[in-house]
Amino acid sequence: MEITPFLDRKLNRRFETYDSNGDGCVERSDFELAGARVTGEFGLDHDDLRAKRIHEQLLGAWDHLSAVTDTNDDDRVSLDEYKTAYARGLLERPEVFDDAYAPFVDALLDVAGVDGFFGVDEYVRWSRALLDLSPADARAVHARLDHDGDGLVGAEDLLAAIRAFYFSEDPDGPGAWLLGPLG
C-alpha cells in the first residue's frame, strides 16, 4: 500500500496517540497506561468487568500491533516500523479492520458511553484520557461525528470515522479530524 503525504500525516498523528508516555516509541506499557487513564477517568476499579474488558481490548491491540510491526523483536515499535507495517498491509482492508475495531469501540462505550452513545462530555473525557486530545479538539471532533445534530455519537459513527482515518484521502472527512489537527 502506498503511503501518501496525507496518510503519512495521519499515521504520524496516530503513532503519537499510541505513545502514551511520549518517549518516541510504542510499548505494551503505553497501552496499559492508556487503559488505566480511561478507566480512572470514569472511576472504575481494576476489578470492574468494564475495566477488565477495555484493558483486554487494549492489550489485544498491543499484541497484534507488536506482532506485525516489531521487526527487531525489542518489544518496542518505532514510527518507522509502524509505517512500514502499515504499507505492507497492517490493517489490510476495511472489512478486516472492522473485526479488530468493533469490539474495542463496544468496550469503550461500556466504559464511557451512556445508553450506547457518547455525549460531548463523555467524548471529551475518554478522548483526553485515551488519546491525549485537548477538550477543544475533542468537542470539534464530536461535532463532526454527530451527523444528525442530536448531541450523540454512536458506535457506527465512531467506527466510520476510524475507518475513514485509515482508508480515506478526504481532508475534510470525519476521519481526517478524528485525532484533532494533523499538524
Query: How confident is the model at residue 180, as a pLDDT?
Result: 87
Q: In this predicted structure, what is the pLDDT of residue 93? A: 60
Q: How confident is the model at residue 62 (pLDDT cuts 50, 70, 90)?
A: very high
Residue 24: strand, helix, or coil: coil
Task: Report if residue 183 sits inside a domain.
Answer: no
List all residues 6 or more positions away from 156 whose beta carbon is below 8 Å from its beta carbon. Answer: none
The arithmetic mean of pLDDT across residues 103-108, rounded, is 95
Tell whether the model's pLDDT for residue 50 goes beyond 90. yes
Number of separate domains in the chain = 1
Flag whether 125 is in a domain.
yes
pLDDT of residue 97: 72
pLDDT at 86: 83
Sorted by sequence, the CB contacts under 8 Å of residue 50 that are 6+ apart come out as 39, 44, 107, 110, 111
- pLDDT at 46 exceeding the cut of 80: yes
DSSP 3-state of 161: helix
Q: Would residue 179 count as lying in a domain?
A: no
The model's pTM: 0.90
- Beta-bridge partner residues of 154: 117
- Sign for the pseudo-dihedral over CA of 64, 181, 33, 125: negative
Kindly report the average pLDDT of the chain as a whole number. Answer: 91
What are the grid coordinates assigned to 68, written together?
A: 506485525
Q: How much of the chain is helix, strand and coil, in % rounded to 5? A: 65, 5, 30
**Res 41: pLDDT:** 97
pLDDT one-digit tens code per residue, 118-161: 999 999 999 999 999 999 999 999 999 998 899 999 999 999 99
**pLDDT at position 166 over 80:** yes
111 and 39 Cβ atoms separated by less than 8 Å: yes
For 34-58, what is the mean pLDDT?
96
31: CATH:
1.10.238.10
The answer to the question of residue 58 being in a domain is yes
Domain coverage including residue 89: 5-170
Per residue, what are the HEC states of 122-146?
Answer: HHHHHHHHHHCCCHHHHHHHHHHHC
| Residue 175 maps to a domain | no
Length of the chain in residues, anyone? Answer: 183
Domain annotation covers residue 32: yes
Asked whether residue 178 is domain-assigned, the answer is no
The C-alpha atoms of residue 182 and residue 171 are separated, in whole angstroms, by 10
